[in-house]
Structure 1
Amino acid sequence: MYFSNQDIQLRRQKLASKWDSLLKPDEAVLVYSGEPLAKPGGLDQTYPFLPHPAYYWLTGRRREEEVILYNKNEGWLEFQKAIPAEEAVWEGARKDLLVSGPGYNLLELGSFLEKNKFSQIYKLGQVAGVAGKAFDLRTALDQTRRVKDSSEIKLIKHLAQIATYGYQKIQEAVHPGITEKEIQIVYEGEILRRGAHTVPYDTIIGSGTNSAILHALPTQKNVQENEFVLVDAGCDIYDYCVDITRMFPSSGKISSQHRALYQLVLKAHHECMAMSKPGVFWRDVHNHAAKVITEGLLQFGILKGNLSTLLEKEVVSVFFPHGLGHLVGLRVRDTGQEENVNPKTYFGARLRVDIELEENHLITVEPGCYFIQALLENPTIKSKYSDDIAWNEVEKWKHIGGVRMEDNILITREGNDNLTIGVPKSTEF
């Protein structure tokens, strides 16, 4: 168990203080853990069960078909399904079944609700169609969860250390001739040996031009001389995770173009890290990354014209098409920002979060610059930016693929703490 009853009670207290301002005394909230999803044609097989993160955060338990109830008068009450005797034969004793508050059989939930005659019941967790006051309650829950407590931070630091071992193995293993798939095996094998449960997302590995594929799945492609190898790989224990990207040169000799592109992204990364502190709006950090990359591409001769015009026309979106980062921690996208129902775009990218940073937010910083075939060969884009992009010059850079650099930072009172700083990172080639 990674969280004590004290951890759980403190989380509930923080959330209750917010929910109490939204709820009437005769209203209740139900948070559902969810149900297993059957595999198509799998008979009695189901996909591995993942509890809704809000439920797990509130209980520290990962069992399916559970509900936790909150009411201002009753407090927190937990409802569990009865455990069939034969389940222990197949699954053994489950330590995640411990009830951290007053516990009831799930079959009693209906009669409990009927007896208390709640005027409104709001359903959250693994449910669909959250609207009205339920939407406000979920927003309060998400905003509370975004602020990481000390036990969460401790676990994420542990995950970062495990991932560090994996990246160190990659650093030793990368050489011309190794396949992308073999690099994946090196990394995942090491983190599993070190205690990881799984990876939080499919490991991304792209060498050469494959490094320009944002979510490149590893292939049997052999790494060549004078190539970049982009590795975007995480580490997961009970849905808590880190999300890290690093670049590796395939050989000691790397071209000046590779070096220049890497240094440009590294500059954006350093400056955006320095900007990230409480009270700063994330969109401003993203916009700074876009500006730095625009300036660099202009210096390379890839962009042409006036800097202010290039920024106004958002030309950088062709080379930096994603947001600067996202909240991370409990799941790789953590809470997201579902309360932002009309998201805006900044330099062509729709940000996953458009928030003001607060102390103990945990967020990724991952600027990138890529030569993406699907964008560079798009007739609409070529026409739109015909006067802004030196297309002949672009041809000289396509072979590089792309560069991304990603760390996970905890926002602190004075600035931030890079929790993944120990993961190997080349400062120059």
Structure 2
Amino acid sequence: MIHNKYFSEEQIKTRKQQMSSQWDTVLKTNEAVLIHSGEPIQKPGGLDSTYPFLPHPAYFWLTLRRRETEILLYSKDLGWIEFHKEISNEEIFWEGEKNDILISSQGKNINSLENFLENHRFSRIFHLGQAKDASPEAFELKTLLDKTRRKKDASEVSFIRHIAEIANSGYQKITSVLQPGMTERELQIAYESEIFRNGAHTVPYETIVGSGSNSAILHALPSQKIIKENEFVLVDAGADIFDYCVDVTRTFYSSGEMSSQHKDLYSIVLKAYHECVAMSKAGVFWRDVHIHSAKVITEGLLQLGILKGNLSDLIEKEIVSLFYSHGVGHLVGLRVRDTGQEENLNPKTYFGARLRVDLELEENHLITVEPGCYFMPAILESAYQQKKFYDDINWTELKKWYDIGGVRIEDNILIKNDGNENLTNCIAKTEY
């Protein structure tokens, strides 16, 4: 149990007060909001087998409860009322007493909800945590909740620091065991077994391990591929406790001193990383951080002789999209994508990356900074790309980089008014 150290009933009370003040500007008298914890999802062909239940993050954030089919009700007239699920003897027999609930607050039985709603006759009810309510009002209520949840409170920050230390134990293990001859899968096992020994419940996403040319695959799942000498090994791996998590990437070198070619590529990404971290503070638009990362990587590729021509022309043509096609980062903390930015209904594309998070940074946002640069022959040699950028690329030089793969460096940055704090800085990275 973690609540004694990191969370309290008072913390939940504060969160509910925050939302009351927000929602009272939208809700009318005799209207109610229902926040659903969610339902178990059955595995295809699995008969009575379901996927591990994860409560909707909005419900969990407001209650710190993790049972399925529960509901939290709010109205201006009645305030907050919780409807809890009573665990049956059969569930206790198969699954135990669900002691993963952080705070056991008092609430009504879920079976009484129907009678409660029948007696109170709300003029309108909005459902959050369920896809069925697509009304504009529900969207506005959810957006207010998301904007509030994006700002991490002191308890969340302390907890995420703790999880970062757990992830660090896994990365330290990688450093101690990584050597040519082992497989990508063995490196994954070394990492994950170490974080589990140190208290992680699970991983927030499938651990990514890519060696050599596989390091250019953004979501490379570890395989039986043997790690060779003198190649990049990209590991994108986190740690998770009760859905709170960190999302970290480090790019290792498999043996000895990094070759000059590998070092050149790594240094470009490292420069983009440091400059983007320095930019990340309250009042800065996230798109500007991404645009800066794309410009730094474009300039680096030009200096290496992979690109040719005028820098400003290359930037205008957005040629970097061939080598760096993802955004510079995303919100993180409670789940690996945290709230996202669902109110951004028409995401714009900058340098080939469709930014789903395109907002002005505010104090206590927690966001990843993760620039990268990758050499993927299937993309670089497509007929369309070769025709579009034929005169901008030194194709003879480019082919020398096909086997090198890619580099990504990622940390979780807490935004402050006068700068930021790197919550995953405990995890060492190679510096040049």
Q: Does 1:419 pair with 2:417? A: no
> Which residue pairs with 2:355 in the alignment?
351
Aligned-pair CA distance for 1:143? 0.4
SS in 2 for 1:25: coil
Q: Is the Cα contact below 8 Å between 1:59 and 1:100 reproduced in 2?
A: no
CA distance 1:330–1:216, change in 2 (3 Å): same
Q: Does 1:300 pair with 2:304? A: yes
Q: Does 1:144 pair with 2:148? A: yes
Q: Does 1:335 pair with 2:342? A: no
Equivalent residue in structure 2 for 1:377, among 360, 372, 381: 381
Q: Is the Cα contact below 8 Å between 1:319 and 1:371 reproduced in 2?
A: yes
> Which residue pairs with 1:112 in the alignment?
116
After the TM superposition, which of the residue ranges 37-46 and 256-265 deviates more from structure 2? 37-46
Q: Give matches, 1:182-197, under 5 Å.
A: 182-197=186-201
Q: Give matches, 1:155-174, under 5 Å.
A: 155-174=159-178
TM-score by length of 2: 0.97
Aligned-pair CA distance for 1:15? 1.1
Q: Is the Cα contact below 8 Å between 1:60 and 1:96 reproduced in 2?
A: no
Equivalent residue in structure 1 for 2:66, among 57, 62, 76: 62
Equivalent residue in structure 1 for 2:316, among 307, 312, 316: 312
For structure 1, the 5+ residue unaligned runs are none
Q: Does 1:395 pair with 2:399? A: yes
Q: Is the Cα contact below 8 Å between 2:87 and 2:97 reproduced in 1?
A: no
Equivalent residue in structure 2 for 1:16, among 17, 20, 32: 20
> Which residue pairs with 2:263 in the alignment?
259
Amino acid at match of 1:365: V
Q: Deviations over 1:95-139 (max 9, x none)?
A: 355876551121221221222121111000133343311000000
Q: Is the Cα contact below 8 Å between 2:196 and 2:202 reproduced in 1?
A: yes
Following the alignment from structure 1 to structure 2, what is the Cα–Cα distance between the partners of residues 164 and 200? 15
SS in 2 for 1:387: helix
Q: Deviations over 1:223-245 (max 9, x none)?
A: 11110100000100011100000
Q: Deviations over 1:242-282 (max 9, x none)?
A: 00000111111332110000011000000000000000000
Amino acid at match of 2:317: K
Q: Is the Cα contact below 8 Å between 2:72 and 2:80 reproduced in 1?
A: yes
Tell me how large the CA RMSD over aligned residues is: 1.3
Q: Give matches, 1:235-314, under 5 Å.
A: 235-314=239-318
Equivalent residue in structure 1 for 2:135, among 128, 131, 136: 131
Q: Is the Cα contact below 8 Å between 1:33 and 1:125 reproduced in 2?
A: yes
SS in 1 for 2:390: coil
Aligned-pair CA distance for 1:219? 0.8
Amino acid at match of 2:68: E
Q: Is the Cα contact below 8 Å between 1:175 and 1:223 reproduced in 2?
A: yes
After the TM superposition, which of the residue ranges 172-181 and 77-86 deviates more from structure 2? 77-86
Q: Give matches, 1:315-326, under 5 Å.
A: 315-326=319-330
After the TM superposition, which of the residue ranges 419-428 and 80-89 deviates more from structure 2? 80-89
Following the alignment from structure 2 to structure 1, what is the Cα–Cα distance between the partners of residues 154 and 216? 37
Aligned-pair CA distance for 1:389? 1.6
Q: Percent identity?
A: 65
Q: Does 1:200 pair with 2:236? A: no
> Which residue pairs with 2:36 in the alignment?
32
Equivalent residue in structure 2 for 1:209, among 203, 208, 213: 213
SS in 2 for 1:232: strand
